[in-house]
Structure 1
Amino acid sequence: MKNAFGGLLNERRHWTHPVIHQTLVDLLMIQQKIHPGIFAVMDGTFAGDGPGPRCMVPHVKNVLLASADQVAIDAVAAQLMGFDPLSISFIRLAHERGLGCGDPAEIEIVGDEDVAAERWGFTGPFAKMTFASSMQHKIYWGPLKKPIEWSLKTVLAPWAYLASVAYHDSFWYPLRAKAKVAGVMASAWGRLFANWERVTPDERGFPEVGERPAELERSGFSVFLESLRLLWTCLLEAPEVAARRRTRKARRTS
């Protein structure tokens, strides 16, 4: 269901973050009114745990889920991760409104039932929050909501994009990410990525993926300069800045 948040809402979707669970349910209602049928496929080759979307720790799970019920597919995914689906607001609200089935006891699993019985014991987004995710939580739902959230609905909003890029691209990725993804880099998928040009597939895929793991390359100061370039791009492409640019262009051509 969350894909609809980024895929269907316009450039002001961040306005609805404080009520994101209700927003996801509203979007599902709209989709079901417009489309005669919606089929969802969820790629669980990697599953992320922790403060998402940018700082999740990836785990190799090699699971694919598919369903014509978007509520059910999210419920099964939540249960696999170790959560009670009906304790998650958007799943519970959608279930109560009859938009799909959020109760795993009422969902028929077709396929690998052994995998469906797994529980991965994920901790979720709040157990080990990063500085960025903690501040976002305080702004949307905590003590910073009243003094700061208003700015996200004005031309001042790009400060949040700049802060996010500065934290993640200039600090978290260069200094923290390597340890977080070490297991994935050494996994079969990481080795396939590293040895792609030297391995040969057969009719069922890649029987051998090589021994050399994938590696992260750090380029020191050049990485920092790249993060500054991203900051500038982020500012130029910010919805609020782009909207003002469109307005000025329209005035010049009218």
Structure 2
Amino acid sequence: MSEVAVQKTTPNTVLEDYSNLMRSIDYQQYLPKDKKTIIKLNLSWSLYFPACSTEPWQLEAVLKTMREDGYEDIVAMENKTVVTKPMKGAKQNKWLPILEKYDVEFVPLTDVKWVDYKPESEMLAMYKVFPDGFKIPEPFIGANVLHLPTQKTHGHTTMTGALKNAFGGLLRERRHHSHKYIHEVLVDLLTIQKEIHTGIFAVMDGTVCGDGAGPRTMIPEIKNYILASGDQVAIDAISSKMMGFDPLSIDQIQLADGKGLGTGDVSKIEVVGEDISDVNYHFSTGESLVIQGDKLFRKGPLSFVEPLLFHTPLFKLPIMASAGYHDYFWYPLVGKKRVKEFMNTEWGQLFQKYE
């Protein structure tokens, strides 16, 4: 039976609580110490917004725990998208001083070698998106991966967690072309992870969660939970249940469960730690204007425009529209106010204590 550890936490005890969480399900059994461990960060926005990207206390707690437990070969990695930049995100989200403190190098995936990869297993959609084949980061092959997602909604996938975090690691910046088959691609990526990684683990932060039109234009909600598991499907299933969704109604969870890649049926998952039987955040997934537009042109009534709009130099237009909407319209008009309100909470005060 798959295990998912769930624990309540506070800003004053969060580092210790994360250590207890990880050790409660013996995380070391999933991450062999004689292999390099890649900390796959989650950068959904270069700017800081609560619950959007890996939180600094989440990163520090994981690195502190691993160093205490004798892990020596650790590297942190994150990719860019057409609208995010790894180094800017690392600074805005306060990762760099933490990585320096624990002597962990930050390597943008734009700086590593990417190699052709042909999966051994059958793919559901990868070859529909990349008919001529695709590349993956060479350092990922033969290494452990530890995902650091946050608990939030997502306009393309209902919720986002461990499964979606691989999307930002194994595909290059033009991975947005996968949105048309996003659920199937996420399952394919989990299949690939099981082929190339020596160990897989996820630690999810739900101290402050994102509700609504995720993964960026959200309403931050403080919930004070943290989660961990060696089963990427199970941790997403439990997280989605806590948010108020039926896990098996979410396509990527249902598909992954059906392929035997993990457990999506919560009745078959052992929750270690907290009793979450009555937990329900009552979250609902919305869609930002950018995601509405993406769906409209990729698989909606205007999908006939997709080849011209997304596969020619005209693609610069939706890139500019997305960056302009998020960074120069929504964030100044709506996001800044929500960030300011968050900074008045205990978790916001903890964020400000980081360098």
TM score, norm. by length of structure 2:
0.51
User: 1:69 is matched by which residue type in structure 2?
Assistant: D
Structure 1 residue 48: Cα displacement = 0.6
Deviations 1:9-32 (A, max 9, x none): 013211111001000000000111
Say whether 1:79 aligns with 2:241: yes
Structure 2 letter corresponding to 1:159: L
Identity, in percent, stands at 50
> How big is the shift at 1:82?
0.2
Which residue does the alignment assign to 1:120? 281
Q: Which amino acid aligns with 1:189?
A: W
Q: Which runs of no fewer than 5 residues in structure 2 stay unpaired?
A: 1-162
Alignment equivalent of 1:101, drawn from 263, 270, 281: 263
Counterpart AA for 2:334: R
| Cα shift at 1:149 | 5.1
CA-based RMSD of the aligned residues comes to 1.8
Secondary structure of the 1:64 match is strand
Which structure's CA Rg is the greater one?
Answer: 1
Task: Give the letter for the 2:217 counterpart.
Answer: C
- How many residues of Structure 1 are paired with residues of Structure 2 in the alignment? 192
Say which structure is richer in helix. Answer: 1
Are 2:315 and 1:157 aligned?
Answer: yes
Please give the secondary structure, in 1, of the residue aligned with 2:273: coil
Deviation readout 1:199-232 (Å, 9 max, x if unpaired): xxxxxxxxxxxxxxxxxxxxxxxxxxxxxxxxxx
Question: What letter matches 1:141 in structure 2?
Answer: K
Native 8 Å contact 2:308 2:314 kept in 1: no
SS in 2 for 1:118: coil
Distance 1:109 1:6, change over 3 A: same
Question: C-alpha distance in 1, partners of 2:257/2:308?
Answer: 32
Taking a change above 3 Å as real, the CA distance of residues 36 and 116 of structure 1, as seen in their structure-2 partners, is farther
**Residue in 2 that maps onto 1:24:** 186
Equivalence map 1:153-192=2 (5 Å): 153-181=311-339, 183-192=341-350
**Conservation of the 8 A alpha-carbon contact between 1:140 and 1:149:** no
Rounded Cα–Cα distance in structure 2 between residues aligned with 1:31 and 1:192: 34
Contact 2:206/2:224 (8 A) holds in 1: yes
State the alpha-carbon separation in 2 of the partners of residues 149 and 83 from structure 1. 34
> SS of the residue aligned with 1:12?
helix
CA contact (8 A) 2:296 2:302 kept: yes
- Which of 26, 50, 58 matches 2:212? 50
**Are the counterparts in 2 of residues 57 and 181 from structure 1 also a CA contact under 8 Å?**
no
Q: Is the 8 A contact 2:201 2:230 kept in 1?
A: yes
Give the Å deviation of 1:74: 0.4
Q: Residue 207 of structure 2 aligns to a residue in which SS?
A: strand
State TM-score, norm by structure 1: 0.70
Note if 1:33 corresponds to 2:191: no
Letter in 1 for 2:281: W
